[in-house]
Amino acid sequence: MTDAQETAADSSLRTTGGAPPDDGGTSDTGAPIPLLEPREGIPPVIADADALDRVVAAFAAGSGPVAVDAERASGYRYGQRAYLVQLRRQGAGTALIDPVACPDLSGLGEALSGVEWVLHAATQDLPCLREIGMVPTRLFDTELAGRLAGFPRVGLGAMVENVLGFVLEKGHSAVDWSTRPLPEPWLRYAALDVELLVDLRDALEKELDRQGKLDWALQEFDAIASAPPPEPRKDPWRRTSGMHKVRRRRQLAVVRELWQTRDRIARRRDVSPGKVLSDAAIVEAALALPSNVHALAALNGFGHRTGRRQLEQWQAAVDRAKALPESELPQQGQQVTGPPPPRAWADKDPAAAARLTAARAAVSALAERLTMPQENLISPDAVRRLCWEPPRVIDPESVGAALAGFGARPWQVEQVAPVLADALRGTGA
């Protein structure tokens, strides 16, 4: 048993049911214990095929779950690719792999097929891991486990401190992980991120089992592991911050053209789009519809630090949008399937609005009794769809079937269908 597991096993130092310890700490002196160094020191970064082969063999020969994490360069580089992958498994120790030097980790992924992967906030890391050939068949998400168990703070640092009694240093979470070589303090931080992940998993499994929620968590983990890659977002330019200010279709066309121009430049230069041109500047130009470079340069975001050539390319984008025929201008709002935004329900369908109010209150009360966030108990979208078009006969079976059709897991249907059926019947649905 490791020190962390011994700490986790001491119920006087554990957080159960989501409440922090009364004394605010977990050591003999009432303070959490700083975790400053990995148990075996900072491992060398794996950056060549021979070293990677040795890591693959070691992790294939290891035992138990494997802790997995990935570091990206959000805000610095284009896209969400991984720039460091960290793993830890009993019998293999910790490995730090450079996926720039070793871009194909499918051999490692295959070696770990069938092994339970332990990740924190798995849905954040799975896309970039999938890009380099690492796809789990089984997983345990410690963040989601914390949510289901009712912990109010589910960041990795907070969970390790509240559950295991150790403090992780989190000062390097937002650095530029594309930097080469990676500084030693960053590598220490990265290694420590997987140091206690399996210990945290074991403690959370016991807590979920104690609360009668372990099967619920396993269903959620299976759903994440089996989910297909998300479809590319339609019209991603519509997510430009500040879009609510843009009212006219011609202005929307300017946003689209500037966004697409910025995206091409950012992709070519491999930098974050926000470093090329800010969302605020795009919206400014869309609202102003500048007629020339001089007018564009007077807008916020296009000041004296923007070179003449850059200004000309942005003005050319504006001019292209201004020259579009009416038939090619984007429509206001996105084409959406399903019910309209809830704020419009009172006017469009007052009965549906009443059903939604009752359903939300019922879900909120049940989530409070089960000590978990409402959105983890049942998808808000599923509730909206149910209330907009309820089954002809309202009973737990029909409501449950509808929820299952919207993607609800069996445990969610079992818990939520009866209370939603009662809520809908209470409105006369």
Instruction: Specify the pairing of strand 116-119 against strand 63-72.
Output: parallel
Helical residues (DSSP H) of 21-79, grouped into ranges: 49-61
- In the prediction, which pLDDT does 17 show? 35
Tell me whether domains 239-323 and 342-427 share a fold. yes
**Tens digits of residue pLDDT in 129-179:** 999 999 999 999 999 999 999 999 999 999 999 999 999 977 777 899 999
Distance CA 5, CA 219 (A): 25
Vertex 293: Cα angle to 289 and 299 (nearest 5): 60
- In this model, does residue 14 exceed pLDDT 90? no
Q: Averaged over 361-372, what is the pLDDT? A: 98
Distance CA 11, CA 18 (A): 13
| Consecutive H or E run containing 258 | helix 249-269
- In this model, does residue 13 exceed pLDDT 50? no
Distance CA 355, CA 372 (A): 23
Q: Which of 389, 393, 406, 391 is nearest to 349 (CA)?
A: 389
Q: Confidence class of residue 429 from pLDDT cuts 50, 70 and 90?
A: low
DSSP conformational letter for 182? P
- In the prediction, which pLDDT does 111 show? 97
Selection from 2-11, 240-249, 304-313 with the highest mean pLDDT: 240-249
Going 227 to 83 to 58 to 105, the CA torsion angle's sign is: positive
Q: Averaged over 305-310, what is the pLDDT? A: 82
Helical residues (DSSP H) of 324-349, grouped into ranges: 345-348
| Consecutive H or E run containing 208 | helix 197-210
First and final CA of the chain: distance in angstroms?
56
**Tens digits of residue pLDDT in 257-295:** 999 999 999 999 999 999 999 999 999 999 999 999 999
DSSP conformational letter for 176? -
Token digits of residue 93: 């120790």
What CATH number matches the domain at 239-323, 1.10.150.80, 1.10.3720.10, 3.40.50.970, 3.90.180.10? 1.10.150.80
Domain boundary assignment for the chain: 33-226, 239-323, 342-427
Distance CA 125, CA 141 (A): 11
Buried b (16+ CB within 10 A) or exposed e, 36-65: eebeeebbebbbeeebbeebbebbbebeeb
- In the prediction, which pLDDT does 231 show? 87
CATH architecture of 33-226: 2-Layer Sandwich (3.30)
For the domain made up of 342-427, the CATH class stated in words is mainly alpha
Going 116 to 119 to 125 to 128, the CA torsion angle's sign is: negative
